[in-house]
Chain A
Amino acid sequence: MTDIAAPPQGARRFGLSSAEAQARLRRRHAAEARFRAYGIGAIALAAIFLVVLIGDVIVKAMPAFTEYRLTMTVTPTLEQVSSDGTTDPQALRSGDYDAVLRRGLQELFPQVTTRALRRKLNNDLLSSGAAMTLRNRVLADPSAIGQPVTIEALLDDAADLYLKGLMTGRRESVGQGQAQVTLDGEDVVLTSSAPDFARALAEVKESLREEAAADRREAARLTAAAADVAGDQREALQKRIADLEGDAAAAEARAAAADAPERLTADLPSKLVFINGGIVKLTEIGASEARGTVLVPLANTDAVTAGGWDILTLTQPEANRRLDDQVVAWLEDLKQRGMVASHFASRFFTSGDSREPEQAGILGALIGSALTMLVTLVLCLPIGVGAAVYLEEFAPKNRLTDLIEVNINNLAAVPSIVFGLLGLAMFLNFFGLPRSAPLVGGLVLALLVLPTIIIASRAALKSVPPSIREAALGIGASHQQAVFHHVLPLAMPGIMTGTIIGMAHALGETAPLLLIGMVAFIVDVPGSITDAATALPVQIYLWSDLPEPLFQAKTAAAILVLLAFLFIMNGLAILLRRRFERRW
């Protein structure tokens, strides 16, 4: 230890107090601090991604978890709901429940008499699921026939989207002046003592100005372009420029005449006036008066004081909406009467797929996934663990077992679609198993997961300390007893982890399911492993490709359900792992 007591002269000095050593120490500390910062940064970044991703999915999914229902009272008569005049369940099942609902709606809006309007009332307000609700009610209690029945009828998806505020922006303003109502033939003329309509007119004029400016810009661009071309093309361009200039000039002239009345076309935001218990849609707007058509009849034509009437502006023009102003007016009227309300959409969790977005549920896919996973687990856990135990503990080490090992490792990297092709060729075509069945899906996914489980199980068995095995053998246990009584229970946590990873992988697979017919529209919730079924990721894929906006919300909601399923599956596995776990 002389080197510590007296370092030889001329050798490097390792004193901790020298400036050099201090600098080195600072560098090392800085490096460590940097590394920690990188680590925290990486975790924070991952956390941000996760939060943004899941937050986005949750926000998008919200509309799928609520639904608007209309509380209405209808009186089903025997002639309507029974196909042969008896209360036999079979006859009641094929009754015309839509007719009952139609009459109920008619009673809500007795003033709707023309054929076109009645069709709109019957088609655009209620979902076709409303009749199913009524049917189930009558089937459950046939004594309700002939009696008034109050049901909560599901609204159509477009009406639902409107009420959720996803179809158009709404702006409500209270009437500032005293309003006079006069009838003029079919129309209603409204006047206000305050500049309520002048403000609305100014908005229209502003949009005209914008339109004119856009036309001018386009005309200027084309003029520049026309300088470079000749002949027919130039003539066509010049004609187009002249048209644009003309349009722009006309719009500007209209915008300049600040007090001249303007027509509200379907390309402009709609304005609905709520007055005297009715709803008027403005068709022409002037500085002090406005003209409109009645969408919901007015109780009377009395003058209304300031603050007693409202103007509702729907920012999305009628031409761009799936729901026209008439249906919006009915919905607003029902809302004022307190008959439509938002409820939790339990239907989403209790019904199968549907082509009507408001009725589509996840239960079919959820059960399909659960059945598929059950088949996969039951097959691949015993086979996988068995194979791993044999290969790791009993098999002789020779060329053949090496070859098997290499192949298992390769199988783990085979694209999943290949397993789908194998499933199609073997299980469907050779064994004649039914198409679209969770049984076949489970078989195919078991093949996919097996290599993962075998590899993980072998690693887990290898990590059990040899002392355990040797101690068991030392006190006279057979090889099999040593493995099954001592090594395997200790390896169980690792095996479970491998199984979880494999199953989670299988749960998210769609590609192999495509080939065996599980990418399908299936209304009925599967009851057994041979019924036609689909799976959660497939349902997400199918819904995401449909045009209705409510299906986009359902897609996000289905993603949440898939995540929840995954959490529950992993939670169960962790629970099981705890029970099997043994420490040494």
Chain B
Amino acid sequence: MKFRSLVSVAALTLAGVAAAGAAQARDQIRIVGSSTVYPFTTAVAEQFGRSGAGKAPVVESTGTGGGMKLFCAGVGTDHPDATNASRRIKKSEFEDCKKNGVADIIELKVGFDGLTVANSKAGPDLNFTKEQIFLALAKEVPGPDGKLVANPYKNWSDIDKALPNEKIEVLGPPPTSGTRDSFLELVMEPGAEKVLADLKKSDAKAFAAAWKTIREDGAYIDAGENDNLIVQKLDANPKAVGIFGYSFLEENAAKIKGAKIDGVEPDFDTIADGKYSVSRPLFVYFKKQHIGVVPGLDKFIAEYVSEKALGEDGYLSRKGLVPLPTDQLAKVRADVEAQKPLAADAGL
């Protein structure tokens, strides 16, 4: 009977599947973490695989927070060897790691990612201060009497006459995104500090709520995690303004242009030397305990910090990573090669 033979084949395969399920030793490096660092770590992983030093590592894109959770869950081949992070490890995460036996963490600062505010080439040249961006995007801003009121600004020119007389329409990352967190910390907080200096002194909690809460009346549009989508929307709508990573501005220079923030244009040099202030450092964290256990991990770290990867003309800078200044890179390289673990008092 045809059907019966089909069933028995299925049953056999099922048994095979169950047998193959036993956990096995790992010969492949596993990395988790931030989607912002993902394009860079994957490039290193590929080069590492090509060089013949070992199998190309598996790099998952889980987000910084999710990556930290997996990374800190424990030591051993069931747990990842490294995690990408678009911010520094938090003290709570560090302690969580310690608690689960991840005693020694090697921190590698790989470079910077500029956060850009950009619009279509067909739109006006923009020059914002952080204060103006705060006033345009915060849910509550100081009213005429200094008290917080619901954001009344409809057009950019309502905030400052020098800004274009266009509706405020900003496409940006959703709340779940690490880019959104960075935007809040790098732009909204300093902007709020200027506007709400008194509130900061009198009520720190209310102040934090003020810069952390983005308006929800349609002026700020959650455009999803996909930065290419924002670029496409900007291209189609010259009046809109978008927020995304610098590498997307670089790749799409024919369609969009970056706005100056506090008078500084976002480009490779201004981000590298720190003049453009809206940039964040990117990190990769490694487990020291896995070096020597997972084959090739030390060689992978060496590849990551090598001049041809992280150097000024390295392949990562061609992928849009803004590298560290030479002296900082030398220090990072020395620390990582000495496998110096992150100290508990590193100022996390």
Contacts and interface: CB of A to CB of B under 8 A. Distances in A.
Interface of A: 93-94, 119, 123, 128, 132, 167-168, 218, 221-222, 225-226, 228-229, 233, 236-237, 240, 316, 319-322, 354-356, 375, 378-379, 381-382, 431-436, 439, 484-485, 488-489, 514, 517, 519-524, 528-530, 532, 542, 544-549, 552, 580
A23 B228 CA distance: 60
Nearest to A552: B228
B254 A436 contact: no
Given A221-B165, A316-B254, A381-B10, A544 B228 contact: yes
B24 A530 contact: yes
Question: Which of B50, B59, B157, B254 lies at the interface centre, i.e. has the most chain A CB atoms within 10 A of its CB?
Answer: B254
Contacts of A322: 250-251, 253
Given A523-B46, A547-B227, A382 B165 contact: no
Nearest to B247: A547
Contacts of A320: 121, 253-254
Contacts of A530: 20-21, 24
Interface stretch (B37-45, B279-287, B325-333): B37-45
A161 to B, nearest CB: 11
Contacts of A167: 254
Contacts of B24: 434, 530
A354 B60 contact: no
Interface in B14-58: 14, 17, 20-24, 28, 30, 32, 35, 38-39, 42-43, 45-46, 49-52, 55-56, 58
A119 B308 CA distance: 13
Given A225-B165, A320-B253, A484-B4, 14 more contacts: A123-B318, A221-B164, A225-B161, A233-B161, A355-B39, A382-B7, A435-B30, A439-B20, A484-B3, A514-B62, A517-B32, A532-B28, A547-B227, A547-B320
B322 to A, nearest CB: 14
A79 B60 CA distance: 39
A520 B58 contact: yes
B124 A218 contact: yes
Nearest to B7: A382
B208 interface: no
A546 B43 CA distance: 12
Contact of A94 (B52, B62, B78): B52
Nearest 10 CB-CB pairings of A with B: A225-B161, A523-B56, A521-B42, A521-B59, A520-B60, A432-B23, A547-B251, A355-B43, A320-B254, A382-B10
B236 interface: no
Given A382-B7, A521-B42, A319 B14 contact: no
A61 B32 CA distance: 30
Interface residues of B, number: 61
B61 interface: yes
B204 interface: no
Contact of A488 (B3, B17, B49): B3
A94 B60 CA distance: 28
Interface string B219-236: 000000111100000000
Contacts, number: 139
B237 interface: no
26 contacts: A93-B52, A94-B51, A221-B164, A222-B161, A225-B161, A233-B160, A316-B254, A320-B121, A354-B46, A355-B45, A355-B319, A431-B21, A432-B78, A434-B24, A436-B60, A439-B20, A485-B1, A514-B62, A520-B60, A521-B42, A522-B56, A523-B46, A524-B56, A530-B24, A546-B228, A547-B248
Contact of B161 (A237, A321, A547, A549): A237
A29 B78 CA distance: 71
Nearest to A354: B46
B162 interface: yes
A519 B2 CA distance: 38
A435 B320 CA distance: 30
A225 B30 contact: no
B11 interface: yes
Contacts of A528: 20
A547 B52 contact: no
Given A94-B52, A222-B161, A532-B28, A436 B13 contact: no
Contacts of A228: 161
Contacts of B1: 484-485
Interface in B176-202: none
Contact of B226 (A321, A355, A544): A544
A434 B342 CA distance: 29
Contacts of B45: 355, 521, 523
Nearest to B254: A320
Question: Which of A93, A226, A433, A547 lies at the interface centre, i.e. has the most chain B CB atoms within 10 A of its CB?
Answer: A547
B17 A378 contact: yes
B23 A433 contact: yes
Contacts of B225: 545
